[in-house]
Amino acid sequence: MKKIWNKIKKYCLDFKNDPKKKLLKIKKRIKDYFHNNLLFVIYVITCVVNSTLLRFFTLHTVENYLSIKPILADTAIVVLVGAFGYLIKPKKRFIYFMTFDIFFTAICMINSIYYTFYTSFASVSMLSLAQFIAPVGDAVVENVLQIKDLVYLWGPICLFFVHWKLKKRNYYEHNLSFKRRKTQTFKHLILGAVLITIFTLTLTPLEIGRFAKQWNREYIVMKFGIYTYQMNDVVKSIEPKVSSLFGLDNAMKSFHEYFEERDTSQKTNEYTNVFEGKNIIGIHAESMQSFPIGMTFNGQEVTPTLNKLVSEGLYFDNFYSQVSVGTSSDTELTLSTSLMPTHSGTAFVSYFDREYISIPKLLKEKGYYTFSMHANNADFWNRRTMHESLGYDRFYSKKDFEVTKENTIGLGLSDKEFFKQVIPKLQDIKEKGQPFYGTFIMLTNHTPFSDVDKYGEFDVDIKETITNENGETEVISHPYMEGTKLGNYLKSVHYADAALGQFLEDLEANGLLENTVIVLYGDHDARLPKNDYVRLYNYDTTTDSVLSKDDPNYIDFDSYQYELNRKVPLIIWTPEHEYTGTVHDVMGMYDVMPTLGNMFGFYNPYQLGHDIFDIKENNIVVFPNGNWVTNKVYYNSQQEEYLPLGSEVISEEYIKQCDEYAESLLYTSNNIIVYDLIRLERESEEVRAESEKGS
């Protein structure tokens, strides 16, 4: 240390005595460094530029564009990895740098593609889910892959070009001794360590806390860079394997504190036990969003069946799905257990062996027969195993249905054929003489919404009757949404709605609606392009294009509107139309279990949601990425910005309280699943009971 300090003092003295000479020396050293380390420099530049491009393409905030922190972090990691390349002889060093350049490029490309579909960043825990990506591969190519996802390839190409030029100049002929190469490695490791130190000193306690918990991926990438995020993700992804060794005590402690502070007493209201003992038909409506409800094209309703159910039942028009990477399976988990998706991987695949308190289990205790039906492969999303864990008596999968080429649309058996084949199975179940709870998972209305020729006739254009110069009337058509992904989605929705209509008619015709409640919910949004929504709400028939932003009729559809538009329907309907009306209070998928529990007479002491008829306007919906919404405000935790949803002034204290609530809820939910806390808590209760009994 004293030696280094003496060198610094000598350097300062020399600079003071002859600054011009010293500047020339510095210039020469920089020039020599770039000349002698050109391959390393290009490797670092390409990897860091790619990570910066990824953030620019995904996180559209001024703070992200101006942030130096993630660049420091990414540069440090790239330098530290590259430093070991100097241990290799120059002629083979290119292979080392190219290997890691391709590796870092792949990280950027995968995350770029992933973010387009999930609005989040990829996790290595998703490797276990690769088998579930293949069946929707066409959707990825058609709906997700974009030109920007290929831009990152410039890095390896540039590195190869530089290598080719250097090779022609016999750049690699000069071979340093191994001792000199070790010195080069050490110097670059020191450089990487300095960069990490500088970066670490800039971090705030909030940033460190969020990094440790890893649930807010966008925030971590924005503050720490994509490479640091990915390294941290590896650690978090192996957490289930070591959960029994580390963190269990803290998880159990926070679990007890959370539920001790929460009011878990059962409440009663005007809906308490109103449906107790009745059959439940749960309709899991694939990718069904709320915005098509009530929409018409040329006087024809997009969703006539849903419109009817809305007018005759209880409709929750401010209802949100809360899915993460597990999409449909996440909805099944959250609806059934009132828990949130896990931070890494999915519960259905990674945590199927945990103990859950679920709707099927609680209804079985009340004498119900519980089952689920889905005409897809039973192992897709590991449903065969997980539905058993959730307490279903039986899972009817693809093997229980007659699936042919003729009755297939998209990923499998068409919804109309599915519901048609369901009826005799449901009749057999009814003959058991027990009340039943069944979940029917639809399939046709699934991305990429490309089988338009099988959806039936439904035009999403604008037809206009005009009188021509000869005084004759004629109908002209304006394309409007024809040929767009959103337009194809609306055609698919119209088909799914017709399938639902047929199902309800068949249920009634076969006496299966008697003493039965229909609970229909959209499982998640369809992840449609924002530009298609802009066209939907701002179409100009005179120009067949979108209105100018300067036009007074232009409707601004920004990222906040896109998020709020992801609402899905929740409808509770009975054939007697006993309970009707629209509930406007914000509600999430984790509120379904407590709301239905109040109506049907079951209760989960560890539910994270609330009975909407109890909490009403005070509810908050937390999303897996840390965003949240209330009746008053939508909060984006990545940007730390919010959008007021009314005229009320939002205080910073309100934002802080809600954000702390969201963070605590996500942390608790993840711990419950990862550490299997419900099982451990029940085992502890049994031990205590035995001990008290013995004493």
Residue 123 predicted with pLDDT over 80: no
Question: Are residues 221 and 301 both part of a single domain?
Answer: no
Quick one: pLDDT band at residue 137, thresholds 50, 70, 90?
very low
What per-residue confidence (pLDDT) applies to 652? 95
What per-residue confidence (pLDDT) applies to 131? 55
What per-residue confidence (pLDDT) applies to 639? 83
What per-residue confidence (pLDDT) applies to 235? 80
First to last CA, the chain: 67
What per-residue confidence (pLDDT) applies to 495? 98
Question: Are residues 541 and 588 both part of a single domain?
Answer: yes
Separation of alpha carbons 319 and 331, rounded Å: 13
Quick one: pLDDT band at residue 140, thresholds 50, 70, 90?
very low
Question: Are residues 276 and 229 both part of a single domain?
Answer: no
β-pair type (516-522, 279-285): parallel
CB 363 within 8 A of CB 602: yes
Q: What domain count does the chain have?
A: 2
What per-residue confidence (pLDDT) applies to 26? 62
Listed range (19-33, 293-307, 580-594) with the worst mean pLDDT: 19-33
**Residue 216 is assigned to a structural domain of this protein:** yes
What per-residue confidence (pLDDT) applies to 289? 98
**Residue 475 is assigned to a structural domain of this protein:** no
Give CA separation, 295 vs 299, 302, 449, 494, 599, in Å: 9, 6, 19, 11, 31
**Residue 690 is assigned to a structural domain of this protein:** no
- What number of residues does the chain have? 695
Q: What are the pLDDT digits (tens) for 410-419?
A: 989 999 999 9
What per-residue confidence (pLDDT) applies to 326? 87
**Residue 666 is assigned to a structural domain of this protein:** no
Separation of alpha carbons 86 and 356, rounded Å: 53
Quick one: pLDDT band at residue 467, thresholds 50, 70, 90?
confident
Pick from 374, 252, 348: which is nearest to 679 by CA? Answer: 252
- Cβ neighbours of residue 557 under 8 Å, at least 6 residues apart? 530, 533, 534, 537, 538, 565
What per-residue confidence (pLDDT) applies to 48? 96
**Residue 650 is assigned to a structural domain of this protein:** no
> CATH code at 275?
3.40.720.10
Q: What are the pLDDT digits (tens) for 617-634?
A: 999 999 999 999 999 999
Listed range (56-70, 71-85, 132-146) with the worst mean pLDDT: 132-146
What per-residue confidence (pLDDT) applies to 603? 97
Question: Are residues 120 and 159 both part of a single domain?
Answer: yes
- Cβ neighbours of residue 526 under 8 Å, at least 6 residues apart? 287, 289, 445, 447, 449, 489
Question: Are residues 150 and 278 both part of a single domain?
Answer: no
Residue 342 predicted with pLDDT over 70: yes
Residues of the chain with pLDDT > 70, as a percent, come to 89
Of 219, 237, 255, the residue at which a domain comes to its end is 237
Quick one: pLDDT band at residue 3, thresholds 50, 70, 90?
low
- For 160, counting Cβ atoms within 10 Å of its Cβ (0-12 exposed, 13-18 middle, 19+ buried), the class is middle
| Dihedral sign for Cα atoms in the order 294, 622, 260, 353 | positive
Question: Are residues 160 and 64 both part of a single domain?
Answer: yes
Question: Are residues 170 and 300 both part of a single domain?
Answer: no
Residue 227 predicted with pLDDT over 60: yes
Question: Are residues 223 and 278 both part of a single domain?
Answer: no
Question: Are residues 228 and 271 both part of a single domain?
Answer: no
Quick one: pLDDT band at residue 309, thresholds 50, 70, 90?
very high
What per-residue confidence (pLDDT) applies to 11? 54
CB 344 within 8 A of CB 350: yes
Mean pLDDT of 237-252: 72
More confident residue, 244 or 98: 98
Residues of the chain with pLDDT > 90, as a percent, come to 68
Domain with 430 in it: 265-451+485-628+636-643
Quick one: pLDDT band at residue 218, thresholds 50, 70, 90?
confident
**Residue 60 is assigned to a structural domain of this protein:** yes
Separation of alpha carbons 158 and 144, rounded Å: 26
Question: Are residues 310 and 228 both part of a single domain?
Answer: no
Q: Residue 448: is the preceding peptide bond cis (ω within 30°)?
A: yes
Mean pLDDT of 473-482: 92
Structure tokens at 116: 């387009």
Question: Are residues 301 and 378 both part of a single domain?
Answer: yes
Question: Are residues 392 and 517 both part of a single domain?
Answer: yes
Mean pLDDT of 432-451: 95
Q: What are the pLDDT digits (tens) for 178-206?
A: 777 788 889 899 999 999 999 999 988 87
**Residue 684 is assigned to a structural domain of this protein:** no
What per-residue confidence (pLDDT) applies to 2? 54
More confident residue, 623 or 162: 623
More confident residue, 282 or 382: 282
Position of tokens 């430093």? 83
Residue ranges in 119-153 assigned as alpha helix (H): 137-139
Segment of 16-25, 243-252, 339-348, 586-595 carrying the highest mean pLDDT = 586-595
Q: Output the average pLDDT for the chain.
A: 89
What per-residue confidence (pLDDT) applies to 428? 97
Quick one: pLDDT band at residue 136, thresholds 50, 70, 90?
very low
Q: What are the pLDDT digits (tens) for 634-682?
A: 999 988 899 999 999 999 999 999 999 999 999 999 999 999 999 999 9
Separation of alpha carbons 134 and 11, rounded Å: 61
Separation of alpha carbons 605 and 506, rounded Å: 38
**Residue 460 is assigned to a structural domain of this protein:** no
